[in-house]
Structure 1
Amino acid sequence: MIKSWMVIGGIAFLVAIASNLLLNPNDIRWFNRLTRPGWLTFETAIPLIWTIVFIGGAWSAILVWEAEPRTPQTWGLMGFYLLLELVILAYTPVMCKMKSLRVGTILGGTGFILGIMLMISVWPISQTAALLLLPFVLWSPIGTYTTWVMIPLNPADA
């Protein structure tokens, strides 16, 4: 029997891989040449931060599914988790394709709002599941703010 963690983790992983396929070397070069704020000294930790965020999100979804499997409400929440992941993962490829830090800021802000909404939505089902979304809810405004601060540093790429 396939376990829920296998399905949820597998879908999260496949969506993440698919979003990376949208990037090409020109997109990555554009992003890497952008000027960053001087206080951004933790950029090498960002992949680890996102790993923690995505593990927390998947684990949260698993707990919600396990609490109330196959109910219409739970299916709706699974769709909400997927929507949040899609918005989060759209940040880099969409911003790089459009070469627009404003687009990145809007996507980051949208993800933050969706993250808060999801956290509130799952709280009555599982407080642990809601708290597992906390790394995203705390990190998202930092990433969004960083992107916003980069706009005046890169006016041609706003």
Structure 2
Amino acid sequence: MIKSWMVIGGIVLVVALAANLITPSDRQWFKRLQRPRWLTFEAAIPIIWTVVFVCGAWSAYIIWERNPNTNTTWVLMGLYLLLEIVTIAYTPVMFKLRSLQVGTLIGGTGFTICIILAITVLTVSGWAALLLVPYLLWSPIGTYTTWQMMQINPQDA
């Protein structure tokens, strides 16, 4: 029998693969952009997002196991999925449109969805809500960084 954590992890992995829908010219566009001087941790960003996604998947697993296959749980799973899709969309959509403003908007949207999800999940499980805190801490940093890059690179706003 397939375990719920396998399904949740598989969905997270499949959706995350969509972040690779970028071309070399998309990467070149982003690489040529100037960064804020304080952005010294750029190499750690993939590791940070990996931790954030693992925590989010673990949170979803807790919620599913608490009340499996109920309407409320399915709605929450939909919110988790929406959050991941919006988060993953940041890179390919921003790169394709070559717009830091779009990236900032997507980042803010993800943060808003996560706030709604965390508040809703808190009524079901404190641990599941706590596992969303890494997203709530990191997402504003990433969004602010993109906004700062927009100020430094107005031609790519």
Normalising to structure 1: TM-score of the pair?
A: 0.98
Deviations 1:10-50 (A, max 9, x none): 00001111331x21111111111110000000111101100
CA–CA distance in 1 between the matches of 2:130 and 2:59?
8
Per-residue deviation, 1:127: 0.5
Offset from partner CA, 1:114-139 (integer Å, 9 cap, x none): 01110001001111000000000000
Q: Does residue 9 of the first structure (1) align with residue 9 of the second (2)?
A: yes
Q: Deviations over 1:67-126 (max 9, x none)?
A: 000000000000000000000000011000000000000000000000111000100111
After superposition, where does 1:13-52 map in structure 2 within 5 Å? Answer: 13-20=13-20, 22-52=21-51
Query: Which one-letter code corresponds to 2:18 in the other structure?
Result: A
Q: List, as ranges, runs of 4+ consecutive aligned residues in structure 1 with deviation greater than 4 Å.
A: none
Aligned length: 157
TM-score by length of 2: 0.98
The alignment-based identity, stated in percent, is 64
In structure 1, the partner of 2:88 is: 89
1:152 and 1:106 map into 2 onto residues whose CA distance is: 14
In 2, distance between residues paired with 1:19 and 1:7? 20
For structure 2, the 5+ residue unaligned runs are none
- Unaligned residue ranges in structure 1 (runs of 5+): none
CA distance in 1, matches of 2:107, 2:144: 9
**Distance of 2:101 and 2:68 partners within structure 1:** 39
Q: Distance in 2 between matches of 1:123 and 1:152?
A: 36
Match of 1:79 in 2: 78
**Residues 18 and 88, structure 2, Cα contact 8 Å, conserved in 1:** no
The separation in 2 between residues aligned to 1:119 and 1:96, in whole angstroms, is 29
